[in-house]
Every structure is written in C-alpha cells, then in structure tokens.
Structure 1
Amino acid sequence: MHSVVGLTHRFETRYPAPTPDVPRSRNRENAMQKPNVARYDSADYPSAQLAFDTYRTVISDIFDVRRREGDERPFAAQLAARAFGEVFMHSGQHTSSLFDRDAERARSDGLDDICFAFSMSGAWSGRFLDRERTMAAGEIVLMDRTQAVRLLTPDDHLTVVNVPRRRLELHGTVLSGLHGEVLADSGGAVLRDYVLSLVRHDAAGMAVGDALIVILAGVLDAREVMLGDKPHTDVVARVLDYIGSNLDDPDIDPAKIARVNGMSRASLYRSFKEAGLGIQSVITAQRLLEARRRLSMYPETRITDLALDLGFSSASYFTTVFTQRFGISPRAFARNEKSDLLKGTLIAERRVQRWGATFRARPPV
C-alpha cells in the first residue's frame, strides 16, 4: 500500500525520459513539448444538428451518443481532447446527453483502458453492468472499458481520462472490481485537482501523463487496502506505507522499520504474520514492483543504477530476483516497454489528431 503523497514524492524526474526509435528532428523535439490538443465548439457549425452529428462521430470511438429523450433544446458543447504520452483526456461542457457502451462493443472494439470521470457542478448517473450509481459534483467514478456502461450526463463540464490498463498493472495495482466504484475521499480530490490543473494550464508531455498515472495508482492502491479481504491493521498499513516511501534506502530492514515505527521486532513480525504477510518478502516485492514501474516509464535507465538506487546489493542479484518474479530479465523487460510505450503514445496522439481532423472538416458557417 502506498499513500498518494508518498507515490508523488517518489516520482523520479532524474531518470532519462524514454527515447522512442523514431527520427529525432528539431520539429519532432519541439512537437513533443507542445500541447497535443484538438478543440471543438458547436458554435462553429451552421446548425445545432450538424454540430451534434460531428460531436457524435468523434465520441463514437468510445461511446454511442444520443440526446436525452424529450430534450428539444439545440445541442451546444465545447470540448478539448489532449494526449499526455499514453494518457488520453477529453474535457468540456455539453448539453445533457446519453452515452452508451454496450457489452458487445466492450468485448469487441479492443479498448483496454481504465477510465475515470467527474463533473464539477451537476450530479449525474450511470449503469455499470448491473449496478446503478449516482455521482455528486466533484466525485470521481472509475470505469473499465472492457465492461458495459451507460451514462446520463448533466448540462455541465465533464472530464474523462483514459489510462492503458497495462500501465497501472505495472505498478502492481489491483484493478478487479473497480468498474462503477466512486472515489469521494481525499485521494480522489487529489486526483481531480491535479487533472483540473492540467486543463487550466494547457499542460503537455509524457512526464505529465506519467505523474498522473502515479497518482491514480496511489489512489487505487489506497482503495484496495480499504476494500481488500486481508485484515490489515493500523500497524501493518503504517509500515507498508513507510516501506513504499523508502524503497531506495539500502539499510531498510525489519530492525530499522521496527525502530522508526516505535515497536519491537517481535511486535512487527507478529502483526505481519497475523495479516498473512512476511516483512522481508514485502520489502523485496515492493522494490521489484518499483523497479518494474521505473523501467516502464524510463526504459533507458541503466540496470546497475536502478538496482543500487532501490537498495539491492548488486545488479546480478537484482536481475536474478526480477527474473524469478516476472519471468523476464529487467533488460528484456525494458526493451519491450520501450516498444510498448511508443505504441501507446502513438495511439493516444493519433486519437487526438483524428478528432482534430474531424473538427476541422466542418462546413463554413
């Protein structure tokens, strides 16, 4: 378990950013720093019906969209879609609408994202498989794109963020059972405020998306501890959080953990035994998950530097336990991630470009 604050504190900007195997021209380098944004405004179209048809066309990547039954008002909306590395986000104001993603579509269209969404002032509702949910203003709802969902949105500003499932799994985040869950706690507020800051400042870049994934993983980790089946005591939760925040300490061991947390080693071992956990195995497992996370974000990281930074005694020992845990060597994992990161980034960027091309193809007013 990691606290959201602990995870964001450990976000390592000193590791080299990924360098995909693509031509590195000056224009390419500049483009990586500019916001990849597609913008839509219904006022740019000669009729409300044409504006809605265009809006429905781009959203059809994810949802079937229709107007709310009995609502005869002209459709109006403003929308901005952005890509932050592999993260795709769209945010804007629109007239109340019904968004439907049925089970057949969820099974067949290949989208495998974890999504979260929130409205800032109006309550809204959804059906997630067989569960009905109502979300208050500011509350975040989690969605699994491989599951059916129907949403009825208000006349309000709605923000939707899509994160590839693979990126969250690399953090060791448990993703089962989250479809339709509502985050109304402080962790959800941190996530929401960070996303809103990205919109306000027109942020851009892979590092922004990486930071957002770290925060989301932290929020979901905290949720899993609260909802999980293991009887985590306050002591175990506190110690797990301490371990997660100090993985780069080479001297971290049961004796130091007990001393820092004001308990005897016997009490520490007893608390973890009651929770069905081994303290040393937890330390190693957390370090390995963090190593995998860093390699996924920064595939060109030197294996020796990573091993020593995370408190492993040597690169060879790290390689051995990493391979035993994940079935692949860290170097091979990094090569695969470099390829996957490029593919995921291109998918998000091309979606924004496709939306933008559709918006720009509008007839003149």
Structure 2
Amino acid sequence: MITTNWRTETVSLADRADALRQTIREHVVPVELVLPAAAEQVHADVTITDIGSLQVSTVRANPATVQRTSRLARADDEPVLFISLQVSGESTVAQDGRSAVLRPGSIAFYDTRRPYTLLFDHGVDMHFFRIPVRDVALPDDVLCQAVARGMGQDGGVPALATGYLRRLAESRATLDATAAHLLAAPSMELVRAVIASESDRPASAGGPLYEALGVRILEHMRTHLADPDLSPASVARAHHISVRYLYTILARAGVGFGEWVRTERLDACRRELSRVPPTTETIAALAHRWGFRSPSHFSRAFKAAYGVSPQAWRDLRHPS
C-alpha cells in the first residue's frame, strides 16, 4: 500500500498551479485542470493511496474545472473507471450527454475512455476511487448506463456502497498491507453491485456480484497472459473447477476466453512497440514472449485489430 501526500503550501506560490496539475496528471489521471488565475487562490490538500489495483484519493481544493478531453480519452493509458464521493458542498459530473449534481453522501461514476467534465464551482471536498476497467469485468454497455448518474441518496445498494467507500477512505491510513489486500476483492464486488443496480440487464450485470471467484480467475489470466500454454483447461485446473463452469463464470462477466486473451496480448504488444525509448527486441521475439506461437499469425491479428502491421506501428511511433 503506497500513499502520496501533496499540499500547495510546500510549493512556491508561482509554481503551485503547475505542480498541482502535474501531481494529478502523474498520480491520478491525465486531465485538463482549470484553476483560478490568481496564484494566491490556488490551494489544495491531496492524499493518494494505492490499495492494490484500487486507488483512493481525497482532495480538498479551490474551485476548479476538470476536463478529460477527446484527445486525452484517446491517449495510450490504461482505461479506468472513477467513482466520485461528495464529502461536503456540491459538484457536477457530466459525461455521455448526461450530468449529475452531487451533494454530500452521493456518488457518481465516469469512464476515462470517453470525455467527461467535473465542475467544482465552490471548491473541492471529495473522495475519488479509481478502478481499472478490466478489473470491473462487466460489459461496456452496462458500464455506460452507470456513468454520470447521481446515486446513494435514495437508499438501496448505492447507499450501502457510499457508506462503505466513505469509511474506507477515512480509515485507509490505519490499514496494513494484509488488510488492504483482503479488502480489494469485496470492494470490487460492491462496486459491481452498484453498477448492476443501474443496469437494464441486471441478470447480465449481476451475475458475478457474489462470486469473488470471477475476480480471481481474471487476475490469474492476467498474470499468466504471456504463457503460451494458457488455456481454458489450465485456468479451470488452477481453480479446481470444470471448463464448463469456467465458461459460465466468464460469460456472466461478458468475457469470452479466446477473445479476451487475444485482445489483452495484442494490447500488451502494442504498448511495448510504442515504448519510449523504443525496444530493440525483434517483433517475432516480442510476439513469442507474449504467447503468440507464430509471428505471421501475430502480424495478421495485429493488423486486423489496429489497421497496420506491427512494424508500421513501431515506425509510426518512432519515425527516427
């Protein structure tokens, strides 16, 4: 568990705005941050804690506007889902043509794969929870239905989640590494329960809510992604279940085994081919390292996914 604390008082007046933007960009998410023009009006107290794949941030700051632009949404960073929890005051979350006004005790989701705007006209007093989209393990259309909707004021599952998330944010300084690890899976299940409560397909969205096994299976697949022997049989065997039951669990999360593995492997290769400085590894060696048995098959799959060959992709990213 890693915690980063940042306060404007530790930075010179002239550098505060840029330093705050850099802190949010590097430690939370790349966004455009609109701050007061007068340097003396820029103030913020930020605490960022990484609990496994879950990040919890608490921000108290001056009035601001946060924008995830179309350009940033297309950037080559890992897609994440955010939850904003209003502590005091009022804010607005806007995405996909919807907007939600948050008041103390309410939450809203937003997705970094598409533009969004956060408005803090009277200052920021919020907890933010960042979760990799891949860890949520729910279909994109289900996630889309949940964004920019105020939740938690009318009881039900969102209200339960709001109380839990608030206590998690307020007590995270007392957690040791073991406790943080144990909280990761149930926290994810509760988030999925909230998303399911907003879905018009609750059976599809709610299937994995009570099965931490689904989370462990996806984590296992992610850990062994580069293994060329990764297969439904090997995953089922590692979790002491049948292949049929494995497919059932993945289907409830909207995940197809072969497609998921191929997409994740291609994405890993794409990121490595975009790396700065560029890797000197041959494309054939890179493909083999990420579980592709045939360089020609890898090249065809890569071009089908991204429209250009692996070599062309590397050349475009590193023209020199």
Q: If the TM-score is normalised by the length of the shorter chain, which range does it land in?
A: 0.5 to 0.7
Cross-structure match for 1:213: 188
**Would the aligned equivalents of 2:99 and 2:149 in 1 still touch at CA under 8 Å?**
no
Q: CA deviation at 1:319?
A: 5.8
Task: Report deviation, 1:190.
Answer: 2.2
Structure 2 residue corresponding to 1:52, chosen from 9, 17, 21:
17
Partner of 1:162: 130
**Equivalence for 2:298:** none
Instruction: Within 5 Å, give how 1:130-149 maps onto structure 2.
Output: 130-149=97-116
Matching residue of 2:218: 296
Q: Distance in 1 between matches of 2:168 and 2:55?
A: 12
Corresponding residue for 1:179? 147
CA distance in 1, matches of 2:243, 2:76: 42
* Cα distance change, pair 104–221 in 1 and its aligned pair in 2 (3 A): same
Q: Hey, what's the Cα distance between the residues in 2 that align with 1:101 and 1:151?
A: 9
Change (3 A) 1:46 1:198: same
* Structure 1 residue 160, shift from structure 2 partner: 1.2
Kindly tell me: are residues 43 and 295 of structure 1, through their superposed partners in 2, closer, same or farther at Cα, counting changes over 3 Å?
same
The reply to whether residue 94 of structure 1 matches residue 61 of structure 2 is: yes
Aligned residues of 1:106 and 1:146 also touching (Cα < 8 A): yes
CA distance in 2, matches of 1:323, 1:123: 39
Task: Supply the distance in 1 between the matched residues of 2:210 and 2:90 (Cα, whole angstroms).
Answer: 41
Match of 1:36 in 2: 2
Q: Residues of 2 paired with 1:74 and 1:138: CA distance?
A: 27
**CA separation in 1, counterparts of 2:79 and 2:65?**
22
Given that 2:185 and 2:215 are in contact with CA atoms closer than 8 Å, whether structure 1 keeps it comes out as no
Query: Which is further off, 80-89 or 198-207?
Result: 198-207
Tell me which moved more, 60-69 or 212-221: 60-69
Which of 1 and 2 has higher RCO (CA within 8 Å, sep 6+)?
A: 1
Shift of 1:287: 11
Q: Deviations over 1:124-182 (max 9, x none)?
A: 12332433432222211110111111211232421111111111126999213322122
Q: CA shift at 1:107, angstroms? A: 2.0
Aligned to 2:95: 128
* Aligned counterparts, 1:219-298, within 5 A: 219-224=194-199, 228=200, 291-297=213-219
Aligned pairs, number: 240
Residues 79-99 of structure 1: per-residue CA shift (max 9 Å, x gap):
111111112221121111111
Aligned counterpart in structure 2 of residue 108 of structure 1, from 59, 75, 83: 75
SS at match of 1:177: helix
- Provide the identity percentage: 14
Q: Which residue of 2 aligns with 1:78?
A: 45
- Pair 166,305 (structure 1): closer, same or farther in 2 beyond 3 Å: closer
Q: What corresponds to 1:356 in structure 2?
A: none
Residues 286 and 57 (structure 1), Cα distance of their counterparts in 2 relative to 1, 3 Å cut: closer
Q: Determine the structure 1 residue equivalent to 2:275.
A: none
Deviations 1:155-212 (A, max 9, x none): 2421111111111126999213322122133322322222222232223533322222
* Residues 35-55 of structure 1: per-residue CA shift (max 9 Å, x gap): 3000011222232x4222211
Asked if residue 192 in structure 1 is aligned to residue 182 in structure 2, the reply is no
Cα distance, 1:216 vs. partner?
0.2
On the 8 A contact 1:173/1:221 being kept in 2, the answer is no
List per-residue Cα deviations over 1:56-87 (Å, max 9, x = no partner).
11223421112147x77522211111111112
- Does the 8 Å CA contact 1:171/1:217 hold for their aligned counterparts? no
Aligned counterpart, 1:8: none
**Structure 2 gaps, min length 5:** 224-233, 272-320
